[in-house]
């Protein structure tokens, strides 16, 4: 599993791997928002939690379609399925590699971009923590979606349609935690629920992902 995780991180960092793609997308999206809604600081501060969370969510979606598709095309997925590691482990390793190369950098970069959107300074730490807690769920759900569409030619769009509705609970509680923090309210409850979503995804979805891979490899 470690070997697969390291290989996927290495592939992501090398040329054409897509590392930084999500981050750059996130940056551009957040920079463009003030052009769209105008420069009033109060308006920006109000919408900042939502924009930052939606941006992070879309950025996480960008690199998902290559998660299994590339391995499927060059035959590596079939060879992984025959390896003495279970497909559930393969799914976890893939999701973990995706999180380390996408979710984690997004969480680190988000407070800086919060500055651009006039996010109140009290919300910086909650924003970082909520993304840190919530993005594993995004990676895991996305891995499931990628597994579901792996045999489909140009399945990226279909995958987005399947995955985005499943992202709704994560988005609701993630953005809620940051909004409450920005308003100076207690934000532990949405954060705990967010953690619960992530843990449930990590516990259940590897099995679902492995099942979809088995069907698609047949």
Maximal C-alpha separation, the chain: 58
Which residue's CB is nearer to other proteins, number 83 or number 157? 83
Count of residues near other proteins by CB under 8 A: 25
- Which has the closest alpha carbon to 123: 193, 68, 46, 62? 46
Which of 83, 161, 186, 203: binder of other proteins (CB under 8 A)?
83
67 binds other proteins (CB under 8 A): no
Which residue's CB is nearer to other proteins, number 23 or number 89? 89
Which residue's CB is nearer to other proteins, number 2 or number 35? 2
35 binds other proteins (CB under 8 A): no
Give the integer Cα–Cα distance in Å for 84 and 79: 10
Stretch that binds other proteins, among 82-90, 97-105, 126-134, 137-145 (CB under 8 A): 82-90
Exposure class string for 135-158: b at 16+ Cβ within 10 A, else e: bbbbbbbbbbbbbbbbbeeebbee
218 binds other proteins (CB under 8 A): yes
How many CA atoms does the CB half-sphere of 110 hold within 13 Å?
34
Which residue's CB is nearer to other proteins, number 40 or number 74? 74
Is the distance from CB of 127 to CB of 114 less than 8 angstroms? yes
Which of 27, 45, 54, 81: binder of other proteins (CB under 8 A)?
81
Residues in CB range of 17: below 8 A, 6 or more apart: 11, 101
Residues in CB range of 161: below 8 A, 6 or more apart: none
122 binds other proteins (CB under 8 A): no
Which of 24, 31, 32, 85: binder of other proteins (CB under 8 A)?
85
Report, in Å, the least distance between residue 214 CB and other proteins: 10
Radius of gyration of the chain (CA): 18
154 binds other proteins (CB under 8 A): no
- Residues making contact with other proteins (CB under 8 A): 3-4, 7, 10-11, 14-17, 71, 73-76, 78-85, 215, 217-218
């Amino acid at each position: 599993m470690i070997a697969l995780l390291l290989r996927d991180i290495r592939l992501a960092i090398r040329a054409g791997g897509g590392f930084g793609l999500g981050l750059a997308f996130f940056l551009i999206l957040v920079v463009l928002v003030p052009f769209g809604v105008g420069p009033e600081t109060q308006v920006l501060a109000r919408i900042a939690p939502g924009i930052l969370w939606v941006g992070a969510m879309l950025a996480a979606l960008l690199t998902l379609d290559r998660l299994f598709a590339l391995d499927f095309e060059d035959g590596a997925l079939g060879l992984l399925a025959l390896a003495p590691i279970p497909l559930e482990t393969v799914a976890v390793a893939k999701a973990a590699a995706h999180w380390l190369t996408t979710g984690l950098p997004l969480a680190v970069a988000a407070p800086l971009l919060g500055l651009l959107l006039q996010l109140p300074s009290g919300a910086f730490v909650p924003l970082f923590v909520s993304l840190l807690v919530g993005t594993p769920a995004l990676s895991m759900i996305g891995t499931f979606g990628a597994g579901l569409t792996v045999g489909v030619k140009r399945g990226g769009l279909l995958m987005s349609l399947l995955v985005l509705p499943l992202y709704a609970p994560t988005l609701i509680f993630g953005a809620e935690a940051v909004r409450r923090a920005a308003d100076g309210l207690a934000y532990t409850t949405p954060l705990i629920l967010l953690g619960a979503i992530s843990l449930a995804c990590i516990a259940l979805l590897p099995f679902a992902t492995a099942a979809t891979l088995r069907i698609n490899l047949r």
